[in-house]
Amino acid sequence: MMMVRKSKGLGERHQKILDFVLAYQRENRYPPSIREIGEKTGITSTSVVNYYLDQLEKMGKIERDRKISRGVRISGPNASADTLRVPILGPIAAGIPLPELDPNVSYLNDNEANAVDIARSLLPAKEKGDNLFALEVKGDSMIDAMINNGDIVVMKPASEARNGEMVAVWLPRDNEATLKYFFKEKDRFRLQPANPTMKPIFIKKTEPLEIKGKVVMVIRKMDRPLAA
Q: Which domains does the chain have, with CATH numbers?
A: 12-78 (1.10.10.10), 83-219 (2.10.109.10)
Is the pTM above the cut of 0.85?
A: no
Instruction: Please write the tens of the pLDDT for every residue from 144-159.
Output: 998 989 888 989 999 9
The strand pairing partners of 115, in sequence order, are 87
Instruction: Please write the tens of the pLDDT for every residue from 161-194.
Output: 999 999 999 888 888 889 999 999 999 999 999 9
Strand order in the sheet with 201-204: 115-119, 83-92, 133-137, 152-157, 210-219, 166-171, 176-184, 188-192, 201-204
12 touches 1 (CB < 8 A): no
Give the whole-angstrom CA distance, residue 150 versus residue 158.
23
Measured between alpha carbons, how far apart are the two ends of the chain, in Å? 29
What is the percent of the chain where pLDDT is above 90? 24
Instruction: Please write the tens of the pLDDT for every residue from 67-119.
Output: 777 778 776 555 554 567 788 888 888 666 666 655 555 555 544 447 777 76
pLDDT averaged over every residue in the chain: 78
Catalytic residues: 141, 180
Position with higher pLDDT, 227 vs 135: 135
Q: What is the dihedral of CA 87, 91, 96, 100, to 10 degrees?
A: 30
Position 142 scores a pLDDT of 92
